[in-house]
Amino acid sequence: MDNFNQFGFTQTSPALDNTLTKVMRRVYLKMFLALLVTAATAFFVAGQQSIMVYMLTHSWVYWGLLIAQIVMVISLSGAIHKISSGVATLLFYLYSILTGVVFSVILLAYTGASIGQTFLITAGVFGAMTIYGYFTKNSLARFGSFLYMALIGLLICIVINIFLASSTMDWIISFVGVGIFIGLTAWDTQKIKQMIMMDGGANTGKIATLGALSLYLDFINLFLYLLRFFGASRD
């Protein structure tokens, strides 16, 4: 298996290849389970009329959940090396539950058919890019750095547009967002592969959780931006 000079890669041993395969399987499994948890939570909460009415009539609750999401994902990413693998996994699934609560509002805004269609499109695009990121022999490091800078710029534009409420800017943000998270899917996959090979199997549990979190966020955000284009309103 050829690797990149930046990562210090040489010809890998069968043992390391085996470790890489096993950990990547755990990454995708944890990510898939987190998506299931998010979907199940979203459908459950959306079916609780009292909860939905309270959330929709008290906007501070929804914004509070969004802020809690941001704080939780930053905390988990920063503390991943200080906590046990089990605690990291638990926090990851708690985060996926919180995301499901936030997503329950989306189920009320868009038709089920359009949500399902967008999910399949997202899965196809995500699958293609994560396969590319895993197998490409080209380093995506510079590309990844550019995407992270673009992501910061996108977040700034989102905040600005909260006050401007420009529909044109909203479409531009959505288009750019799709491009960013398509690219980040490939980059994050390659970065996870790099982390596994550099670690050599010492912290596979934590790496699997951190990798699953990264790809989970890529999938969720890609889905949300694609929903802007393919989602059909219930109105």
**Amino acid residing at 120:** L
Confidence tier at 2 by pLDDT (50, 70, 90): very low
Residues 184-232: tens digit of each pLDDT: 999 999 999 988 888 766 678 889 999 999 999 999 999 999 999 998 8
More confident residue, 233 or 163: 163
Does residue 21 have a pLDDT over 50? yes
Residues 40-72: tens digit of each pLDDT: 999 999 988 888 888 888 888 888 988 888 888
* pLDDT value at residue 10: 45
Confidence tier at 119 by pLDDT (50, 70, 90): very high
Q: Residue ranges per domain, the chain? A: 14-230
Does residue 122 have a pLDDT over 80? yes
- Report, as an integer, the average pLDDT of 165-171: 89
* pLDDT value at residue 196: 87
Of 92, 115, 119, 123, whose CA–CA distance to 46 is shortest?
115
Does residue 11 have a pLDDT over 80? no
* pLDDT value at residue 27: 96
* pLDDT value at residue 175: 94
- The pTM of this model reads 0.89
State what percent of residues in the chain have pLDDT above 90. Answer: 50
Phi, psi of 63 (to 5 degrees): -65, -35
* pLDDT value at residue 187: 95
Average predicted confidence (pLDDT) for the chain: 87
More confident residue, 219 or 112: 219
* pLDDT value at residue 203: 76
Of 95, 114, 77, 120, whose CA–CA distance to 38 is shortest?
95
